[in-house]
Structure 1
Amino acid sequence: MSMGRRKRLTFWGAHDDDDSLPRSVMAGHKTVTADTVEDYYKPYGDYGDGSYAPGDVIEVYDLKQRLRCIIRATKVMVIRFGEIPEEVWRGETFASAEEFRQVHIDCLPHLDLHDDFEFVTLHFELVEIVAG
C-alpha cells in the first residue's frame, strides 16, 4: 500500500451490479463485515487491502470500482461460527445468528463451516457518503 492513501475495501455481491452492501452501509444499517481468518489478512487486488485495524479510515468501493463511502474501523474480533454474537449478526443486517450462518454457508460452499471455524469481524462506523 502506498503512503498517503487510505485503505480500501470492496463489498462483494451476488453479481457485478449488486451494490446492496455499500447501500446498506451508506444507509447506516450495515456496521459489521465478516471474513475468514485466512482471507481477512490478505490483500485482494487494487480495491481491497485486508488487515483492517481499529482506527483505520477505509474507502468502500462497489464491484464496479466506484468509491461509495468512507468508514472508520472501530473494532476487530475473532468469533466462532457456532457462537455468533448478537452485535455481529445485527451489524451484518441479519435477523438471527442462524440466518448469518446459513448465508455464509451458502456463500462459502468450498469451506467446512463447523462450530469451531473462526471468522474475523470488522466493526465500523460511517464517516462520509461519497456517491449515492
Structure 2
Amino acid sequence: MNRPKRIQFWGEDENDDHLVMEIIEGKKTATVSKADNYYEPESEFDDGGHEVTDIVDVYDLKQRLRCRIRITEVYPVKFGNIPEKLWKGEACRSAEHFQEAHRYCWRNCDLNDEFEMIATHFVLVEVIPLSKT
C-alpha cells in the first residue's frame, strides 16, 4: 500500500460528522470495532485492521481528508466491561453512556456483556484544512 491507512467515522446518519469534529477538537481519542470484522474495510475510506504506530488518514462522510491520527494502543474488550480509559477516549460520560451510544449505533447486534470488540486509541497528529474551492 503506497498511502497511509484510512478510517471513516460516522454518527447517526450520513450527514453526521460530529465524531470527526470531536477528534479534531481533541475530545475523541479512541474508538471500537466489532472484533469479528476488525480487519475488514467498512467502506471505501476505511481499511480496517489498524495497528500500533500506524498513521491513519481520517475522512469525513463527504469523503474529505480532515485529519491524521497515530494509533497508540489496540486491545480486545467485552461490551460488559468497558474500561474508564476507553469510555473517556470515546468522549462518553460513563461506561453506561458508552454502552447506550453503541446500542443505538449497532442496533442489529446482540450487544450482551460477552460481545467482543477491539478498542483502538490514537493521538491527533495533524489537522487538514478544508480547501476553499
TM class by smaller structure: over 0.9
Considering only aligned residues, what root-mean-square deviation do their CA atoms show, in Å? Answer: 1.0
Identity %: 45
**Any residues of structure 2 matched to 1:1-132 within 5 Å, and which?**
3-131=1-129
Question: How far is 1:104 from its partner?
Answer: 0.8
- The count of aligned residue pairs is 130
CA distance in 2, matches of 1:124, 1:22: 13
Q: Counterpart of 2:63 in structure 1: which amino acid?
A: Q
Q: Classify the secondary structure of the residue corresponding to 1:46.
A: coil
In the superposition, the TM-score normalised over structure 2's length comes to: 0.94
Moved over 6 A (4+): none
Structure 1 residue 110 displacement after superposition: 1.0
Cα distance in 2 for partners of 1:112, 1:44 equals: 19
- Structure 2: gaps of 5 or more residues: none
Shift of 1:43: 1.2
Q: CA deviation at 1:33?
A: 0.5
Cα offset, 1:108, TM superposition: 1.1
Deviations along 1:9-44, one digit per CA (max 9) or x if unpaired, are 000121222111111000111000011102321113
Specify the SS of the correspondent of 1:105. helix
**3-state DSSP of counterpart to 2:99:** helix
Whether the aligned pair in 2 keeps the contact of 1:13 and 1:63 (CA below 8 Å) is no
